[in-house]
Amino acid sequence: MAWNKPMPARPVVAVAGATGAVGREMLKVLEQRAFPAERVIALASSRSAGKELPYAGGHLTVELMTPESFEGVDIALFSAGGTISQIMGPQAADRGCVVIDNSSAFRMDESVPLVVPEVNPQDVSWHSGIIANPNCSTIQMVVALKPLNDLAPIKRVVVSTYQAASGAGQAAMDELYSQSRDFLIGQELHVEQFAHRIAFNCIPHIDVFLDDGSTKEEWKMVVETQKILHAPDIKVFATCVRVPVLRCHSESIDVEFARPVSLDAARAALCSAPGIAMMDDPASGTYPMPAMLEGTDETFIGRLRVDPTVPHGISMWVVADQLRKGAALNAVQIAEALLPR
């Protein structure tokens, strides 16, 4: 059933999972973008209830999240994990709240739109109370692919990711810090958040392995890209790697088109596309690097060049802040798309 409840100009907004890394970033993005909320409510588990979080020059007292928390709430930004989303998301929607969920719980549900506002904003219109935020690695890739796919249909994408610790949460970022310190002073390293040590290492293992030898993270990039672009025939092959970087994901993306696309046309399309910033002057050492782009909102593209190993191939290097465009910012942009025009 299509959603028909009108959205007020100044909605009441709840952030579910407000004390986590993404939840805190959601509050920061709401404040920085001056989102016109009538009121903002911070929700979390009983472990965090009563804590105070900074917001808009003051603070929010974290409330215990229950189904009743969503009474009178217009928009709920969820970053509390898939299990909580599956339980609380539908109950929030039943109370008239539009849920924008950052977990994987609803992404491949055919009745739930999967939205990146620079790519498929029109899909916001057919939600039924729940809208899914895509996987972080998928978001920045489709932002880069959309203007290229508009030039000529994309046949195939091969992507290798270099994913930051932030994608695994605050505890994973803390582990990168502590392991790096312990390594440098010769102490024993303790591994809890990853399959192996993350300090001074690369781990080609994100999420669980599937029967075909790929990981679930890699599978997400395939099916989510096809859904967001409304292009079920695009072939995507991904290798996802966790690297010792704090919060920006990097991706090496090779694109094969169905027909010729010149490098100049590709560059012009990317330069004029929303949400993209070009950093592409190798002669001066200018290209996106994760350490330099923390806290930014754009998807940065560099190293744009022809791939001569396939017909009609172009390659690029793409970097974006995982906590912002890869999660919190994209969710707030979806919320902005819900506001009355």
* Domains located in the chain, CATH noted: 12-134+327-338 (3.40.50.720), 138-322 (3.30.360.10)
Which residues on adjacent β-strands are paired with residue 256? 156, 313
Tokens representing 113 are: 């739109």
Report the percent of the chain where pLDDT is more than 70. Answer: 99
Q: What is the pLDDT of residue 58?
A: 95
- Tell me how far apart the alpha carbons of residues 189 and 180 are, in angstroms, rounded to a whole number: 9
Instruction: Spot the catalytic one: 136, 205, 248, 312.
Output: 136
Marked catalytic residue, from 97, 127, 248, 249: 249
Tell me the pTM: 0.97
pLDDT tens-digit profile of 146-155?
999 999 999 9
Burial pattern 7-30, b for ≥16 Cβ within 10 A else e, equals eeeebbbbbbbbbbbbbbbbbbbb
Q: What is the mean pLDDT of residues 317-335?
A: 98
Listed as own residue / partner, the contacts of 48-56 with beta carbons closer than 8 Å and 24 or more positions apart are 48/18, 48/19, 51/19, 53/18, 53/19, 53/24, 53/27, 54/27, 55/27, 55/30, 55/31, 56/31
Report which residue type is found at 22: V
At 1 the pLDDT is 54
> d(Cα 140, Cα 300) in Å, to the nearest integer?
9
Which tokens go with 335? 């919320």
Report which secondary-structure segment, H or E, holds 241. strand 235-242
Model confidence at 3, in pLDDT bands (50, 70, 90)? confident
Strand-pair category, 248-257 with 154-163: antiparallel
pLDDT band at 341 (very low <50, low <70, confident <90, very high): confident
Contact 147, 116 (CB under 8 A): no
Q: Would residue 249 show up in a list of annotated catalytic residues for this protein?
A: yes
What is the rounded average pLDDT of the residues 221-238?
98
Question: What 3-state DSSP class applies to 311?
Answer: coil
Polymer length in residues for the chain: 341
| Nearest alpha-carbon partner for 79 in 15, 171, 12 | 15
Query: pLDDT digit string (tens) for 153-197?
Result: 999 999 999 999 999 999 999 999 999 999 999 999 999 999 999
Q: What is the 3-state secondary structure (H, E, C) of 164-225?
A: CHHHHCHHHHHHHHHHHHHHHCCCCCCCCCCCCCCCCCCECCCCCECCCCCEHHHHHHHHHH
* Residue-averaged pLDDT of the chain: 97
Two structure tokens written together for 243: 């690297």
d(CA 163, CA 216): 14
Whether the per-residue pLDDT at 57 is higher than 80: the answer is yes
The per-residue pLDDT for range 253-273, each reduced to its tens digit, is 999 999 999 999 999 999 999
Does the pLDDT value for residue 2 go beyond 80?
no
Q: What are the pLDDT digits (tens) for 78-109?
A: 999 999 999 999 999 999 999 999 999 999 99
Q: What is the CB neighbour count within 10 angstroms for residue 57?
A: 6
With a cut of 60, say whether residue 138 has pLDDT above it. Answer: yes
- Identify whether 136 is a catalytic site residue: yes
pLDDT tens sequence across 192-222:
999 999 999 999 999 999 999 999 999 999 9
